[in-house]
Amino acid sequence: MTFLDQSYLQTSVWKPDLFKGKVVFVTGGAGSICRVQTEAMVLLGANAAIVGRNQQKTDEAAKDIQSLRAGSKVVSLPNVDVRDVKQLSAAVEKTVAELGRIDYVVAGAAGNFLADFNHLSSNAFKSVIDIDLLGSYNTVKACFQELRKNKGAIIFVSATLHYYGVPFQIHVGAAKAGVDALSNALAVELGPIGVRSNCIAPGPIDDTEGMSRLGRGEKDAAIARVPMQRFGTKQDIADATVYLFSPAATYVNGDVLVVDGGAWQVGQGAGQKDYPVTLKKYFDAPKGAKL
């Protein structure tokens, strides 16, 4: 079952066939956020290839996404470990053989779990670095010739965890900081050959595995600390993806597009616990009142 459907074409600001004739290659495409990124691209005319570890999950996701648009083709690429560049290269070869090209790449495969420093082993730390950071590097490495030939674009799925200290997320924060640095360097190196590189940094996104792990049953309190007073949706990330791959963003390169409703700006700073109650008290007070 897909998250998006045909109504996306009527309710979104994007025009149908925006990506007609284009192909997007997505690691983590059978997951939650990256799957909906793929759905949006397919609804708007692209064909797709999704990379995953689990065969049944990846095959079913590809079949569901393909059903969104008549005539679309979504290639399932299961049993691929992004830590192995040879496996990714084989997945790229299959994609090009079946779809003819690759124009866009979403490097979204990631690993996460909660662990404090004292109980986080070096192997566990390395595992997340290898999946998130090395896997992102390998994905672009395997797709490079196609990106170069088609003057394509890359989106890395990052996070805001490294903007301030987040307990139990040392491994992920370190990995995503590296992903941001990787994207910035690629933007500079690949820009002259027409390839753009950017990141999307999701904040609290509802109905995702990451949020269910990090939220710990305190959803209302967490929402209250987001300036927009809601969690994000997977469509919010999909729309950001469409923008960065669209002709509207041809001069956007080396950027990190944070999609979090302003949540990280509140962060761990003073007043974070009582946000936005303290602000509302000031908003509602008469002029001249002592607070």
Catalytic annotation on 12? no
Query: What angle, rounded to 10 degrees, do the helices at 85-99 and 135-150 form?
Result: 30
| Contact yes or no for 51/95 (Cβ under 8 A) | no
Cis peptide preceding 286, ω within 30 of 0: no
Catalytic annotation on 176? yes
Q: Which of 158, 183, 197, 234 is catalytic?
A: 158
Q: Write the single-letter amino acid at 62.
A: A
Query: What angle, rounded to 10 degrees, do the helices at 33-43 and 55-66 form?
Result: 30
Kindly tell me the sign of the dihedral angle through the C-alpha atoms of 121, 119, 260, 265.
negative
Cα–Cα distance between 252 and 207 in angstroms, integer?
29
Cα–Cα distance between 100 and 72 in angstroms, integer?
13
Q: Which of 12, 32, 76, 176 is catalytic?
A: 176
Q: Which amino acids are annotated catalytic?
A: 158, 176
